[in-house]
Copies of this chain bind each other. A is one copy, B any other.
Amino acid sequence: MNLYYAPDIAKTPFLPEEESLHCVKVLRQKAGDIIHLIDGVGGLYEARIVIPHQKRTEVEILNVTENYGKRNFKLHMAVAPTKNIDRFEWFLEKATEIGVDTFTPLNCRYSERRIVKPERMEKIVLSAAKQSLKAYLPVINPMIDFNQFIENVTETNRYIAHCYDMDKAYLIDVCAPKSDVILLVGPEGDFSKEEVQMALNNEFQSVSLGDARLRTETAGVVGCHLVTIANHK
């Protein structure tokens, strides 16, 4: 099934330039072909190609499914990008496949990477969303300093995964279902003790992601999966 991203499809029956090129040049689709589109905000469209064009392919909408794959909770993953960017990008791809609503790259005390390319992140997330048939495209926030971020959190259920030896519950045992969740995952060198304390002061709960010692990017995927399962109960 060929899926295209057309954020304005509800307003205008055309594929954006990049998607038009991919559709016509790469996938060689022709007039009359049936394709599927996502608008990134829950809409899944079935459409027929009317005029294939490398820059502006016109389609006819045949069918619309609103709120496709809508979940009864929202998950915000705030994660410190890894020194090796491939590992962070891998996290973005896998977490998008499993299901995330918002990504925020965190700049922490011990971060080994303090710069990320938003365009690159968006490209990876869009590709993963299309591949895994997600009609909702995850929102990617700009990188932000931990201290500034922690005081402006809006989610009700707040969890921070860290390796310090303190009272921690296994995320799946405490994660509140059917309610918005934010999970913080630190850099290779973990959050600083001060950062953990700041989170606790801002109504975050310390959680464990299991017994295994995980890399940052693996912890991100495992954490995202634990929240998904907690909502399945």
Chain A residues near B (Cβ < 8 Å): 69, 90, 94, 97-99, 131-133, 170, 172, 210-215, 218, 221-222, 225-226, 228-229, 232
Are A212 and B97 closer than 8 Å at their CB atoms?
A: yes
Are A132 and B222 closer than 8 Å at their CB atoms?
A: no
Residue of B nearest to A211 (CB): B69
Q: List the B side residues contacting A99 at CB < 8 Å.
A: 212
A133–B218 CA distance with the chains assembled, in angstroms? 14
A229–B94 CA distance with the chains assembled, in angstroms? 19
23 A-B interface contacts by CB (under 8 A): A90-B90, A94-B218, A94-B221, A97-B212, A97-B213, A97-B214, A97-B215, A98-B210, A98-B212, A98-B222, A99-B212, A131-B213, A131-B215, A132-B212, A132-B213, A133-B213, A170-B232, A172-B229, A210-B229, A212-B228, A221-B221, A222-B225, A229-B229
Minimum distance in angstroms from A138 CB to a CB of chain B: 13
A133–B211 CA distance with the chains assembled, in angstroms? 11
The oligomer's copy count stands at: 2
Residue of B nearest to A94 (CB): B218
In this complex, the member of A99, A218, A221 whose beta carbon has the largest number of chain B beta carbons within 10 angstroms is A218
A229–B222 CA distance with the chains assembled, in angstroms? 11
Residue of B nearest to A98 (CB): B212
